[in-house]
Structure 1
């Protein structure tokens, strides 16, 4: 009597997971340590798939464990990789589990670039293998019954989960075996079989007849529902329907038999006979219609013996009226089973191969956060550098600090010597010339790469439009214009960036041309530099004067502000916050990330204080420069005026301005080269 239904496994073709995952990892993660770890994880994932779906599986819990771990891993990587047609495209091919193939050896199969499809098929195999493991159990012992009930309920849960999710996971019609109707029917079959196992256990444990009757009646109900759901499923094996119909009748017969025993205990002898007569008709139906699939001889004999004895006792002793079938009280039901809820991870031994890799939602939030952070950092640093350039320009125009160092009139001021040494240490003219030479080549290479990328996108879109016009509604691929819209937007941004770089290149060259001669002079040996600077009569009247002391003190204040600003710039650049943890927490708690709200709050916490310090630095500099200009005016009035002194002061101003321009140009060119190299 204990005939159960098991489900065949789906078969899949081999898929190389390593190459596409490695390509994405290399393009996304810059740290060599992360790349190596993730590539090794991709290789392990590929091995896990081969073990789970690339070979025949034994009907054993160890094989099921491999499937569970692979399914859990698919769920774990889904939010971490951009699986889609236009990003990380992996195509999975699976055959229909119930299709036996045509006369020519063909079979129904479906290939989709969808991780959701892979998950659904793997989960189907989890349910199928669980049903096979349950089927193989020994139903004559307690341990076998417990194991069978456990795996039938797992199978029911797996099929039920597919029913609820498969259409949204695929966005198209699946093969018949994983269609909502088919897996819904399979789920109900497994649930009915789990309930029957509990009936068998209750019978084996000699529980009360009232309980056994309700368990059997519930199993009959489940089998009836399963039969209705399978009636029009042409792709299911032909023996499924008669087995379900037979089981429906058999479990009803068992329910009536045990309820008759309860009636006998309650001295309701007429009811006992009525129920045994109904049970007899039920087993006769099975014997006449479904004997090819299920043998009910033992049950039939048991019911027949009970009915014969009951009639004999009633005829000779009790003479109780036998009620009509319609007058018998309905037998209660007791459902002791339910579909196992599929919660990831299903396997208790699961360990995420990509545990350190964060979900894409977090990656995107981190990218947006870093853009906001870069905007703030660049603005603050830009304000400070602009203020420093203004300060340098004002001091250069006033020939400071050279003017207060040059009271002798015949030696190179110390500040000019320091500027000369700084330029020589940074490579002098040769360094600038090389940077200017390299930049156009990098820009041109970026332009060529961008133009070629746009050409490929245009060509692909034209082909897509041509095929769409040719095949009409049969061409279901996402439109090229929608598919590659993010790439075109990025291409437009890069084009604007290159245009701006070209304009900036012109400005740099013009400025370099203006100051090149003075920069070249600063690169000369000290003796040649001194000879090139006009001499002047000593300004003895200013030596030791109060105005010189005040100017020197103010210049020291300016240098102090600059030094504090350099430290502040380093602090701003190095400020960090573990935003990954904050985004992960938000994703876990809310299921989504409000990146803007979280980022703005954290950035204000991090950089709010720095913003105040920058503004304070700018204000202090403005006050000091105002005092310097006033003191310099007094200094100039007191200074002895002659032509030589004016020529000398003008030369010193140009040298100071040339140094400042060299530093600024060098920094700008190096940053420009770095950016172009990154894009390249």
Structure 2
């Protein structure tokens, strides 16, 4: 499909048409990158300017490399990939790249003479693009708004160059030439505005603002000339051309697009070879997996057998190559801190004393309960029905139950203490070894 008239299309088995389409799309992508950049910042201006120059380079390569001409010769009938269209788009991209520089010098407060040169070159690029749009085969292909937009942009920057040049002339008190330049620029704007149809509102606003500034300066200059300088205003034909300074160029994409060193099909492998390679890979993976499982099983068996023989720790200990294991060292320190066997004996004695005290308290409590029950029975016999207090067994049931529970716990604790004491006594010889100090 034609990029500018989508109802026109061509289907052609030609590598030249494919190359032309790729180059055209590359230029279009670069231009979109430039348009998306934020030109209110320095980084955005640099990005936009570089992308516009790269886009110009893509369209220049499309034209200069002969790809466009070969595509046309092969039968491509869409205008967008012709050499004429590529040349026009190259100038259009360069104009916008130069416009980025113009915005930068204006924002940087550069001298009017320099700003005029940069603006004039922007106008030159737009004028070249406009001339291409007005010539066949592009004249009947592009929408009229394209032509009007480019025409007005060319006039705008020519007028802006005149305006900036007039500011420099005013500083030099060349009032007559200042008036002439301002008139020339304003006439160019007026003619372009008459011919411009369907131009975007922001562009018209910018043009009107420039025209207003020029008119203000022209009125001031004419007033000064009529009252002070009294200079003869030269005719437009007697003035020289405005100087221009081109700060941009089409970026060469020769290295980017050169595929002579690329082996395009080096990574392609026949289907039979791929299947054989896949089968071989599966076999290798299976062998590795089997051997890994055998190694793991053998390692586990070896670990168990060494553990049964206290190896290799025993050998290392005999060779004197290792110190006491950390766990064993902690156990030794714990035994020594607690006082060794003597300390344990003292703690066991405390357990015996506590058990004895608890048994005595338990016996005393039982005796008190029995005494209370005996007194209750005696008074109940003595006073008969006049003794209305509940029976002792009822009142002390909860206490008796808890007493039985405590008695059972003490019995279990005593049995546990006896077991611990027996184990400690059996371990006395070993703990005595751990308690030894160098």
TM-score bucket (shorter structure): 0.5 to 0.7
1:197 alignment partner in structure 2 = 100
Q: Report the secondary structure of 1:263's partner residue.
A: helix
1:172 alignment partner in structure 2 = 74
1:244 alignment partner in structure 2 = 150
Matched, 1:332 2:238: no
Q: 2:131 and 2:44 mapped to 1: Cα distance?
A: 29
1:157 alignment partner in structure 2 = 57
Q: 2:257 and 2:111 mapped to 1: Cα distance?
A: 36
Q: Report the secondary structure of 2:252's partner residue.
A: coil
Q: Give per-residue Cα distances to partners, 1:112-160, cap 9 Å, x unaligned.
A: 142x332221111110121122223333332222222111111111111
C-alpha displacement at 1:218, in angstroms? 1.6
Q: Give per-residue Cα distances to partners, 1:157-192, cap 9 Å, x unaligned.
A: 111111122233675132221011111111111112
Give matches, 1:123-138, under 5 Å: 123-138=23-38
Q: Is this contact kept in 2: 1:223–1:247, CA < 8 A?
A: yes
C-alpha displacement at 1:340, in angstroms? 0.9
2:161 alignment partner in structure 1 = 255
Q: Is this contact kept in 1: 2:27–2:59, CA < 8 A?
A: yes
Out of 240, 252, 260, which is 1:341 matched to? 252
Matched, 1:142 2:142: no
Q: 2:195 and 2:74 mapped to 1: Cα distance?
A: 40
Q: Report the secondary structure of 1:97's partner residue.
A: coil
Q: Report the secondary structure of 1:100's partner residue.
A: coil
Out of 81, 84, 89, which is 1:186 matched to? 89
Out of 272, 278, 281, which is 2:178 matched to? 272
Q: 2:30 and 2:247 mapped to 1: Cα distance?
A: 19
Matched, 1:281 2:192: no
Structure 2 stretches of 5 or more lacking a match? 269-438
> Radius of gyration: which is bigger?
2
Q: Is this contact kept in 1: 2:12–2:75, CA < 8 A?
A: no
Give matches, 1:505-520, under 5 Å: none
Q: 1:141 and 1:157 mapped to 2: Cα distance?
A: 24
Q: Report the secondary structure of 2:12's partner residue.
A: strand
Q: Is this contact kept in 1: 2:14–2:71, CA < 8 A?
A: no
Out of 219, 223, 247, which is 2:126 matched to? 223
C-alpha displacement at 1:357, in angstroms? 6.5
Matched, 1:300 2:211: yes
Q: 1:264 and 1:201 mapped to 2: Cα distance?
A: 23
Q: 1:146 and 1:346 mapped to 2: Cα distance?
A: 23
1:119 alignment partner in structure 2 = 19
Cα gap change, 1:291/1:261 in structure 2, threshold over 3 Å: closer, same or farther?
Answer: farther
C-alpha displacement at 1:213, in angstroms? 1.0
TM-score (norm: length of structure 1) = 0.36
Q: Report the secondary structure of 1:239's partner residue.
A: helix
2:407 alignment partner in structure 1 = none
C-alpha displacement at 1:286, in angstroms? 2.9
Q: Report the secondary structure of 1:139's partner residue.
A: coil
Cα gap change, 1:222/1:209 in structure 2, threshold over 3 Å: closer, same or farther?
Answer: same
Give matches, 1:428-507, under 5 Å: none
Out of 6, 9, 15, which is 1:108 matched to? 9
Cα gap change, 1:332/1:154 in structure 2, threshold over 3 Å: closer, same or farther?
Answer: same
Q: Give per-residue Cα distances to partners, 1:244-280, cap 9 Å, x unaligned.
A: 2111211110111111011111111111111111122
Q: Is this contact kept in 2: 1:177–1:235, CA < 8 A?
A: no
Cα gap change, 1:169/1:284 in structure 2, threshold over 3 Å: closer, same or farther?
Answer: closer
1:486 alignment partner in structure 2 = none
Give matches, 1:39-54, under 5 Å: none
C-alpha displacement at 1:318, in angstroms? 2.0
1:316 alignment partner in structure 2 = 227
2:196 alignment partner in structure 1 = 290
Q: 1:241 and 1:153 mapped to 2: Cα distance?
A: 22
Cα gap change, 1:139/1:284 in structure 2, threshold over 3 Å: closer, same or farther?
Answer: farther
Structure 1 stretches of 5 or more lacking a match? 1-94, 102-106, 359-680
The root-mean-square deviation of aligned C-alpha atoms, in Å, is 2.4
Q: Is this contact kept in 1: 2:117–2:161, CA < 8 A?
A: yes
Q: Is this contact kept in 1: 2:116–2:160, CA < 8 A?
A: yes
C-alpha displacement at 1:215, in angstroms? 1.3
Matched, 1:209 2:109: no
Count of residues paired in the alignment: 255
Cα gap change, 1:346/1:209 in structure 2, threshold over 3 Å: closer, same or farther?
Answer: farther
TM-score (norm: length of structure 2) = 0.54
Q: Give per-residue Cα distances to partners, 1:2-41, cap 9 Å, x unaligned.
A: xxxxxxxxxxxxxxxxxxxxxxxxxxxxxxxxxxxxxxxx
Q: 1:335 and 1:180 mapped to 2: Cα distance?
A: 23
Q: 2:11 and 2:141 mapped to 1: Cα distance?
A: 16
